Amino acid sequence: MKALLLLHTLLLVSFAELSTLTVDDELVILDGNLSAGNSEDNCVVNDPSFGIKEEEVVEEQEPPPVSGHFNPFQKESLMDYPFEERLVLRPLPRNFLLASFQFNITSDELSIDKGASHFNSYAHNTVFPRSISPILEHTNTRQLHLRFTHGLWDAESWGQLPHNGSKSGGTGVEIWAVLESDSKQAAFAQWISLANSLSGLFCTSINFIGSDKTSYPVFSFQPSGENSLPLFNENSKLYLVRAALANEPICTENLTPFLKLLPTKGKSGVASLLDGHKVFDSHWHSLSIDIETRCDDTSCKYHMEEFVEMVVHVPNALDRAEKPIPKPVEEHELRCDESKPHDVFECFPLPESTDREFELSKLFGRYILGTNLVSRSPSRVCAEVGPNWSALVKVGNTYFSTDDNCFEIKGDELHDLYLQTSDTAQVASSEDVPIYVSRSLTGYGQDGGGLRTVFKNPSNETVSLVYFESLPWFMRLYLSSLKIESEDGLQLDDVITNTFYLPAIDRQRPTHLEYNLKVPPNSTFALSYQFDKALLKYAEYPPDANHGFDIESAVVTVLSPLKYEMRTATLLLSLSTPDFSMPYNVIILTSTIMGLAFGTIFNLMVKKLVTVEEADKSNGSVGSRIIFKFRERIKAIFKKKVPLFDESKKNQ
Amino acid sequence: MFSRELQVVVACLGSRFGVSLVFPLLQQQLDKSVEFSTPVTSYRSLEEGVFLLRNDFPVYSGGVVHHAPLLVVLMSALGNSALTSLLYACADALIAYQLIAMTRCFPKSKIPAWVPGALYVINPLVLLSSVSKSSVVFTNLAITTALLSAMQKRTLVAAAAIAMAGYLSLYPLLLLVPIFSLLPQEKLKVTFICLIVLSGLLLSSYKINNDDWNYLFSTYGVISTFSKIIPNLGLWWYFFVELFEMFIPFFKAVFNLFVVSCIIPFSLRFHDQPFYAFVLCLGWITLTKSYPTLGDGGFLLSFVPFFQPLYGYFRYSVISTLLFIHVIVLSPIFYHLWVDLGSGNSNFFYAISLVYALAVSTVLVDLVWAMLRIEYDNGTPNLNLKLTSI
């Protein structure tokens, strides 16, 4: 508790400092300069009218259209912080566009001997977020990886995930960290502390991570790079801890803290394009943070990579920007198949047009507000496009192009990117994924079911991978029911080379399952196993109990032929629910039955057996005697008329 | 006559084994039904234990295995499914045989010795329970062994068998109390042997389980704290689902006390009819245990034929028969409506579990009443006399 309070104060302090920093930064930016788009090796197109054509691009160097401003950053600058940013745009098939914002930040040198008690001492911060480092120091975190992902990556048409999948998580929030600690218990305490701190920082429910969601991966999530895992204390060990929250909605409020971590705060550089509405309107988006502690012989530094990636459907996004309120397509805009009958009432639509031209500002609703101003290397925007695309950067009203389609953003002028193609189907080819993995629930009842995972290796090479699955405790898994279905006659022993299994403990630990698999070339097989669903206690059900429970995605780490990481989709597990209006009734009814059984038996055993007549007479109390006499009277009255009455009376 | 008894035992063996062989999928179906399988008795949980044991995974570190370690090891040694079917059939046949042997202990009994055994064999609840390979069969075998040996004054076997029953599913340990009345001269010896055998079993389990006591919670802890909330025919599950969190520890204590509550009273009150006291205690445990199955109920009903002289005194025989039929017919239907179709809710099945409790308790009340009556009549039934208790 104390630790929490302490941490809270610490957070407050760091936030306070953060806010002052923000002001400073803004001052810096305002201070900054009036630079123009420099075109050392850029080609310039002067074309105020937007509808430029390829032919009009003059592949010659021309002086920048706007000049004469003083630009201190062109020369050796004092603003030379370890910060880099980049925006990569890659058109995908079917009019999709992958936009990947990448930020690299390195901290100043850390003093290694800083223990948990000294973290409040003076520390110099430049571009590395002030709010992060105390958390890392307090919890002895050597590596921290955070993923906010939502949507479906269509691997069959889009190919591999960006960065070999190493920067995108499963749907929801995923977090893993390498903690330095004396024992597993202490590591867990640090982990919870870390989760609580990050929860406040990123406006998420990471604080809902408890021991029932935490697992300690064995084969997966192995931290890369030996020099990024320093031990500050020789007696302690490193612990890899991981948890995921599949039901966490990712939304605008998560993006804002991401931007706040950047030295530019989203006010300049490529980050100025990021608008929550546009980011979360996309088909697939992933926000990620990776922080590593990198040490050389003398010093250590935090190195942070922040990625914001999204896949937008370009026509939809443009339509939405133009017509915020959707209206039916007007008649003259309909693209009808001319070879078939068409009139006002009848139209066989043609496929989407393959011609496309758009500006980034239309897609994001914003312009790039100049370069980031804090690092020596200017912000870069790259378009990874096919040969029949043209990519031009627009500075002011001037268009520039480069050979490699990468543009440096310089100065503080508004920048925009113009992309144009005659055939959107021709995109820069992306590599095929080494393996397709999909997981689904089987069974129909709410008391049990099965998990079935299909592995498909389309390549000609054997793929070896690690399959990681962490399942909630209320799925009572029967690993003995593990079966393989394969048309190629594969057996379990053929594909599974190693298994790690840690069964769940109710409310304390998730099921932790990891397989090392070898998937033979050109083969498909399915692994399935059965589970029972436990009933939860009344108060453990969420308010929307019948919605079901999100099961976090399984993680597939491909080890060979290439390093690749991917997640399956999350699953929705429906549990049987009790009647939530019943608590009192149940307590009353069950108690009644118990009381009835016990009471009757106890009564029979402790009391004396006598004949009915004896019982009537012998009861000593005045009241019972009066009742007896009264009953005798009534009997006397009815005796002759209703002889049966006496019998029935006696029977009782 | 002897051949008739042999026929019964062979029929028992044949029917169980035959059904298992002819309908191999029936076992899985029954094992998934809440009426015949609970987390602590189901065969798939036992299979999981065998699987984990063979693959060197932790068997009792959480997970779904709640069977005693020795049982898991035994199953692991057997391996083959036909062999296990045979084992279950043999255990059931042995129970049938022991019921017959018990009848012989009552020389005055008017019913032929083979009748209780035959009724056990044709009892569908017991048959299905055995086919589902519920570990209840082994507990029941240990209980009948204890009872028979106690009646035959074989102290050692009786005490060891009761320890075995307790080892397998905790609550039968309470049957030690009525065993005292069966062996009145050897109470100390019985206690002593029972303790020795039990600690031997627990220690060997400890050794088998890689020197870890964690199996204690997974087996007995789960039974007495009802920590796996899965619907069953007992009184516990819905109560603890619906109860407010803060009262749960208190009511767990209450429910456990409730199991114990009638054991000593029965044993004291029916000290002169120890067999009777034993059956009543068994009935009480069937009613109040945390994970009951219909197999337990069927087992209890197999003792009713012994009380043929009391039949005339039964007051609710029609009601209890109807209640049992009600439960057997409606419980699968209501459970299906709730869990599979979603057109009913949990209250449907809860109502059935209440009816089942009512059915078992009417049988118990009737038995108690009938015995009190025949005591009053000094063994010669006088059905015309109207009695009441004050």
What is the average per-residue pLDDT within A513-521?
93
Write down the pTM of the prediction: 0.84
Inspect the interface and report whether the beta carbons of A586 and B239 lie closer than 8 Å: yes
For residues A83 and A375, the answer to whether their CB atoms sit within 8 Å is yes
Inspect the interface and report whether the beta carbons of A609 and B373 lie closer than 8 Å: yes
Has residue A522 got a pLDDT over 80? yes
Report the chain A residue with the minimal C-alpha distance to residue B243. Answer: A583
- Residue A269 phi, psi (nearest 5): 75, -170
Inspect the interface and report whether the beta carbons of A476 and B64 lie closer than 8 Å: yes
**Rounded to an integer, what distance in angstroms lies between the CA atom of residue A165 and that of residue A173?**
15
Has residue A612 got a pLDDT over 70? yes
Inspect the interface and report whether the beta carbons of A605 and B368 lie closer than 8 Å: yes
**Between A and B, how many CB-CB pairs are < 8 A?**
185
B161: in domain: yes
Inspect the interface and report whether the beta carbons of A535 and B241 lie closer than 8 Å: yes
pLDDT computed for residue A559 by the predictor: 92
pLDDT digits (tens, 9 = 90+) for A249-307: 888 888 999 998 998 888 888 888 898 888 888 999 999 999 998 887 777 888 899 99
For residues B281 and B150, the answer to whether their CB atoms sit within 8 Å is no
**Rounded to an integer, what distance in angstroms lies between the CA atom of residue B331 and that of residue B281?**
25
**Rounded to an integer, what distance in angstroms lies between the CA atom of residue B134 and that of residue B141?**
12
**Rounded to an integer, what distance in angstroms lies between the CA atom of residue A170 and that of residue A35?**
42
Has residue A25 got a pLDDT over 90? no
What is the average per-residue pLDDT within B252-271?
92
**Rounded to an integer, what distance in angstroms lies between the CA atom of residue A309 and that of residue A311?**
7
Angle between helix axes B81-104 and B114-122 (nearest 10 degrees) is 150
Question: Which of A575, A585, A593, A601 is the best residue to mutate to test the B interface, defined by the most B CB atoms within 10 Å of its own CB?
Answer: A601
* Count of residues making up chain A: 652
Confidence grade of residue A227 (pLDDT, cut at 50, 70, 90):
low
Question: Which of A506, A507, A594, A619 is the best residue to mutate to test the B interface, defined by the most B CB atoms within 10 Å of its own CB?
Answer: A594
pLDDT digits (tens, 9 = 90+) for A386-412: 888 888 888 888 888 888 888 888 887
Quote the domain boundaries for residue B258: 3-376
pLDDT computed for residue A103 by the predictor: 92
Six token digits for residue A52:
């430029």
Per-residue exposure over A583-602, b if at least 16 CB sit within 10 Å of its own CB, e if not: beebbebbeebbeebbebbe
Has residue A117 got a pLDDT over 50? no
Task: Spell out the domains of chain A, with CATH numbers in brackets.
Answer: 83-327 (no CATH), 436-573 (2.60.40.740), 608-652 (no CATH)
**Rounded to an integer, what distance in angstroms lies between the CA atom of residue A506 and that of residue A241?**
19
Six token digits for residue B145:
């062994």
Question: Which of A609, A610, A624 is the best residue to mutate to test the B interface, defined by the most B CB atoms within 10 Å of its own CB?
Answer: A609
Pick from A100-114, A392-406, B1-15: least confident: A100-114
**Rounded to an integer, what distance in angstroms lies between the CA atom of residue B191 and that of residue A484?**
51
Minimum distance, in Å, between the CA of residue B53 and any CA atom of chain A: 11
Confidence grade of residue A123 (pLDDT, cut at 50, 70, 90):
low
Domain count, chain B: 1
Task: State what percent of residues in chain A have pLDDT above 90.
Answer: 34
| HEC secondary structure over chain B | CHHHHHHHHHHHHHHHHHHHHHCHHHHHHHHHCCCCCCCCCCHHHHHHHHHHHHCCCCCCCCCCCCCCHHHHHHHHHHCCHHHHHHHHHHHHHHHHHHHHHHHHCCCCCCCCCHHHHHHHHHCHHHHHHHHCCCCHHHHHHHHHHHHHHHHCCCHHHHHHHHHHHHHHHCHHHHHHHHHHHHCHHHHHHHHHHHHHHHHHHHHHHHHHCCCCCCHHHHHHHHHHHCCCCCCCCCCHHHHHHHCCHHHHHHHHHHHHHHHHHCHHHHHHHCCCCHHHHHHHHHHHHHHHCCCCCHHHHHHHHCCHHHHHHHHHHCCCHHHHHHHHHHHHHHHHHHHHHHHHHCCCCHHHHHHHHHHHHHHHHHHHHHHHHHHHHHHHCCCCCCCCCCEEEC
pLDDT computed for residue B185 by the predictor: 87
What is the average per-residue pLDDT within A88-116?
81
Inspect the interface and report whether the beta carbons of A604 and B63 lie closer than 8 Å: no
For residues B43 and B31, the answer to whether their CB atoms sit within 8 Å is yes
Has residue A71 got a pLDDT over 50? no
Instruction: Say which of A473, A503, A586 has its CB closest to residue B238.
Output: A586
Confidence grade of residue A620 (pLDDT, cut at 50, 70, 90):
low
Q: Which residues, including other chains, have CB under 8 Å from residue A425's CB and lie 6 or more apart?
A: A93, A94, A354
**Chain B residues with CB inside 8 Å of A647's CB?**
none
B340: in domain: yes
**Chain A residues with CB inside 8 Å of B375's CB?**
609
pLDDT digits (tens, 9 = 90+) for B54-87: 998 889 988 899 999 999 999 999 877 888 999 9
pLDDT digits (tens, 9 = 90+) for B172-221: 999 999 999 888 888 899 999 999 999 999 999 999 988 889 999 999 99
**Chain B residues with CB inside 8 Å of A450's CB?**
none
What's the distance, Cα to Cα, between the start and end of chain B in Å?
46
Has residue A130 got a pLDDT over 80? yes
Average pLDDT of chain B? 91
CA B211 to mean position of chain CA atoms: 30
B338: in domain: yes
Instruction: Say which of B237, B248, B386 has its CB closest to residue A612.
Output: B386
Inspect the interface and report whether the beta carbons of B368 and A586 lie closer than 8 Å: no
pLDDT computed for residue A645 by the predictor: 43
Has residue A540 got a pLDDT over 70? yes
Pairing of strands A414-421, A389-395: antiparallel
Report the chain A residue with the minimal C-alpha distance to residue B231. Answer: A535
SS3 A541: coil
Report the chain B residue with the minimal C-alpha distance to residue A606. Answer: B269
Name which of A477, A604, A489, A487 is nearest A530 in CA terms.
A477
Pick from A36-40, A349-353, B47-51, B244-248: least confident: A36-40
Minimum distance, in Å, between the CA of residue B231 and any CA atom of chain A: 8
**Rounded to an integer, what distance in angstroms lies between the CA atom of residue B347 and that of residue A416?**
63
pLDDT computed for residue A40 by the predictor: 36
Pick from A219-233, A309-323, B101-115: least confident: A219-233
**Chain A residues with CB inside 8 Å of B288's CB?**
594
Residue found under tokens 């929030």: A173
Confidence grade of residue A31 (pLDDT, cut at 50, 70, 90):
very low
Confidence grade of residue A55 (pLDDT, cut at 50, 70, 90):
very low
What dihedral do alpha carbons B56, B60, B61, B62 form, nearest 10°? 130
pLDDT computed for residue A43 by the predictor: 35
For residues A603 and A609, the answer to whether their CB atoms sit within 8 Å is no
Minimum distance, in Å, between the CA of residue A534 and any CA atom of chain B: 6
Inspect the interface and report whether the beta carbons of A601 and B245 lie closer than 8 Å: no
Six token digits for residue B13:
């063996």
pLDDT computed for residue A75 by the predictor: 41
B30: in domain: yes
Inspect the interface and report whether the beta carbons of A476 and B235 lie closer than 8 Å: no
The angle subtended at Cα A304 by Cα A298 and Cα A305, nearest 5°, is 140
Report the chain B residue with the minimal C-alpha distance to residue A472. Answer: B63
Q: Which residues pair with A393 in a beta bridge?
A: A400, A417
pLDDT digits (tens, 9 = 90+) for A351-386: 777 788 888 888 888 898 888 878 878 888 999 888
Instruction: Say which of A508, A598, A609 has its CB closest to residue B389.
Output: A609
Has residue A333 got a pLDDT over 90? no
Task: State what percent of residues in chain B have pLDDT above 70.
Answer: 99
Task: State what percent of residues in chain A have pLDDT above 70.
Answer: 82
B293: in domain: yes
Q: What ipTM is given for this predicted complex?
A: 0.92
Has residue A553 got a pLDDT over 60? yes
Six token digits for residue A452:
């079935």
Find which of A154-163, B176-185, B352-361, B378-387 is predicted with most confidence, using mean pLDDT.
B352-361
Task: Kindly state the greatest CA–CA separation across chain A.
Answer: 130
pLDDT computed for residue A639 by the predictor: 67
What's the distance, Cα to Cα, between the start and end of chain A in Å?
65
pLDDT computed for residue A484 by the predictor: 95
What dihedral do alpha carbons A394, A397, A400, A405 form, nearest 10°? 10
Inspect the interface and report whether the beta carbons of B389 and A576 lie closer than 8 Å: no
**Chain B residues with CB inside 8 Å of A610's CB?**
387-390
Instruction: Say which of A448, A505, A578 has its CB closest to residue B238.
Output: A578
Average pLDDT of chain A? 80
Instruction: Say which of A501, A579, A618 has its CB closest to residue B346.
Output: A579
Has residue A18 got a pLDDT over 90? no
- Residue A461 phi, psi (nearest 5): -120, 150
Confidence grade of residue B342 (pLDDT, cut at 50, 70, 90):
confident
Q: Which residues pair with A109 in a beta bridge?
A: A301
DSSP classification of residue A402: -
Find which of A357-361, A632-636, B384-388 is predicted with most confidence, using mean pLDDT.
A357-361
Confidence grade of residue A619 (pLDDT, cut at 50, 70, 90):
low
**Rounded to an integer, what distance in angstroms lies between the CA atom of residue A565 and that of residue A558?**
6
Higher per-residue confidence, A597 vs A609? A597
Q: Which residues, including other chains, have CB under 8 Å from residue A46's CB and lie 6 or more apart?
A: A62, A65, A397, A398, A399
Has residue A509 got a pLDDT over 60? yes
Exposed / middle / buried, residue A45 (Cβ in 10 Å: 0-12, 13-18, 19+): buried
Minimum distance, in Å, between the CA of residue A446 and any CA atom of chain B: 5
**Rounded to an integer, what distance in angstroms lies between the CA atom of residue B8 and that of residue A70?**
108
Report the chain A residue with the minimal C-alpha distance to residue B353. Answer: A590
B385: in domain: no
Inspect the interface and report whether the beta carbons of A604 and B354 lie closer than 8 Å: no
**Chain A residues with CB inside 8 Å of B230's CB?**
447, 532, 534-535
Minimum distance, in Å, between the CA of residue A531 and any CA atom of chain B: 10
Distances (CA, A) of A233 to A110, A116, A180, A405, A634: 15, 12, 8, 48, 96
**Chain A residues with CB inside 8 Å of B39's CB?**
476, 532
**Chain A residues with CB inside 8 Å of B243's CB?**
537-538, 583, 586-587
pLDDT computed for residue A228 by the predictor: 61
B46: in domain: yes
Instruction: Say which of A506, A602, A609 has its CB closest to residue B265.
Output: A602
Per-residue exposure over A487-499, b if at least 16 CB sit within 10 Å of its own CB, e if not: eeebeeebbbeeb
Residue found under tokens 């198949």: A337
In order, the DSSP letters of A86-154 are EEEEEEETTTEEEEEEEEEEEEEEEPTT--GGGTTS----SSS-TTHHHHHHHTTEEEEEEEEEEE---
pLDDT computed for residue A93 by the predictor: 87
B189: in domain: yes
Q: Count the Cβ atoms, other than its own, within 10 Å of residue A253.
A: 12
